[in-house]
Amino acid sequence: MSRSIVSKFGGSSVADAGQIEKVRNIVASNPNRRNIVVSAPGKDPLYREKITDHLINIATDGDHFRNTRKVPTVAQSREAVLGKFRSLMKDLAVQDAFPLEELRDDLEKGHEIKNLHQKTAFYASRGERYNAMLITSYFASKGMNARACLPEDFGFILNGNALDGKVQPESHDNILKIQDETSINIIPGFYGITEDGEIAILSRGGSDLTAGEVAFAVNAEKYENWTDTNGVYEADPRFIPGARVIPRLTFKEIRLLSCRGFNVFHFDAMISCKKNKIPINIRNTNRPDEKGTLILNERVPEEGVVGIAKLDNMAYVYLEKDLLGEMIGFTAELLKIFQEYNINTYHYPTDKDDIAVLVNQDDLVGIINDLRRDIEKKLNPDYMNVVYNQAVITAVGLGLKGDSFTVMEAISVLGEHHIPIEMIDQSPSQICFHIGLQQAVADEAIKILHDHLLNGKT
C-alpha cells in the first residue's frame, strides 16, 4: 500500500474563501495528501441554492427550479454561478489566474448541445471543473506545487447514461499516470468523459465516488472524506443531542446505516476501497483535530448496537390474496410493477396470504392511482391498502448476530412507553433489525431506543 492519502472535500468544505483556506491548511499539514478531490462550491448567498442545481436549471431552461416552485430563472441562475466564482476570485485574490471568461463561454455554448442528457451533464460538471481550477490557482499563489488534473485531460472514462456514468477500468491506469512525488493533484469530482470525448457525470454525490476510484487506483493508505460533521454519529444528533461519534464501523455496518437515513456519502465510493481494504476516514473540515469515524473491512470488538438510524416519510402497500405465498413469481411480478414506476422498494415482508412493500411516500405522489390499477389488473389481489406516514428505525451492529435478546429488549421498552409497532423485521445477516411505526411517534421511539440500547438506561 502506498503512503498516499486521497482527500475529498465536499461543497460545504469549499463554500467560500474561508473554507478553502481551511482546506489548504489541511492539505499542507501532511505531505502524503497529494490527490485532492473537490466538489462544486457551496450555495450562492442570494438564493441559497447549490451551484450544481443552478447549473442544471440553466441546462433545463429553468424547469429544474420551476418544477419545484423555486424562484431562480435561467438568467438568475447564470448570474448566481458567475457571481459565486467572481466572489471567490476576489476573496482569494486570484483574479488574474482564474479563467472567468472561459466559464462564461461555457454557460453560453452549452446550449449548442442538442441531447438533453448530454447538455445537462455538461452544465452540471462546470461547478466541479472550475472550482478545481480556482483552488489550484489559490494553492499555487500560496507557494504550493498544485496542478489541476481535469478528467477530460487525463482520461477519467465513464460509459452508460450521460447522467449516471459508470467508471471504466482504464480510468485507474490513467490516474496512475498523473502521479508523481512532488505535485498535489487537484481533481474535480462528479464527472468524466466517455470514449467519444463527451462529458458524463456520476449520480449526485459522485465526487465521493471519484475520490474512491482515485484511492483504489493509487492503492492509497487512506481515503479521507472531509465534510461538516465530526463523523458518523450513533444516532442523528439533531434529535439526540447526546449522540456520540462512532469511532469505527465496518463497510457492512455503514451500508446498513446509510440505507436508513445516514446519508454520509455515496455508497459506491466504498466498493473499490473495500476491495483493497483501504480505510475511509470521515472528518470535519471545521474541526480537523477530531479523529472522525474510520470505516474498515473488519473491527474489534464487535459491540451489539453501534448505531440507530431513522428513515422518515415512508408508506407501505399492503396486499392480501389467498395462497399468495404459494404462487411462484407473485412477489417478483409485484416488485416488477414498482420498478416500472421507478419506485425503490425497501422491505417486502410476506406471509402465506399477504405481503407489504415499503416505499418512500414521495415516490407515490401523482402515480398512486395508476400504480393501484396496474397491481389490481396484473395480480388481482383480494384486498389492497396503502398505509401512509410511516417511519422505520434500524439498529445496526456486528454483535447483534446470534443475539435475539436485543431485539426483544427493543420491543419490550417500546411497549413499556406505549409506542405501537406496525412491523418488525430482522435482516438475513442478523446484524440489524428494523422496526416500522407511525411517523408521529418515530422521534420519541428513537430517543427511547438510543437511551436503552446505547446508553444502557432502563
Q: Which residues in the chain come in under a pLDDT of 70?
A: 1-2, 259-267, 457-458
The domains located in the chain, with CATH, are 5-296 (3.40.1160.10), 307-454 (3.30.2130.10)
**pLDDT recorded at residue 1:** 46
pTM: 0.87
**pLDDT recorded at residue 262:** 60
Q: Is the peptide bond before 420 cis (omega within 30 degrees of 0)?
A: no
Task: Report CA-CA distances (Å) from 366 to 275, 340, 389.
Answer: 41, 15, 16
Burial class (CB in 10 A: 0-12, 13-18, 19+), 262: buried
Q: Do residues 242 and 299 lie in contact, with contact meaning Cβ atoms separated by under 8 Å?
A: no
**pLDDT recorded at residue 261:** 54
Q: For 378-403, what is each residue's pLDDT tens digit? A: 999 999 999 999 999 999 999 898 88
Q: For 292-316, what is each residue's pLDDT tens digit? A: 999 999 988 777 899 999 999 999 9
Q: Do residues 426 and 396 lie in contact, with contact meaning Cβ atoms separated by under 8 Å?
A: no
Q: In this structure, what C-alpha cell is assigned to residue 2?
A: 502506498
Percent of the chain past pLDDT 70, that is, above it, reads 97
**pLDDT recorded at residue 325:** 82
Dihedral of the alpha carbons of 153, 155, 157, 161, in degrees to the nearest 10: 10
**pLDDT recorded at residue 458:** 54
Is residue 71 classed as helix, strand or coil in its secondary structure?
A: coil
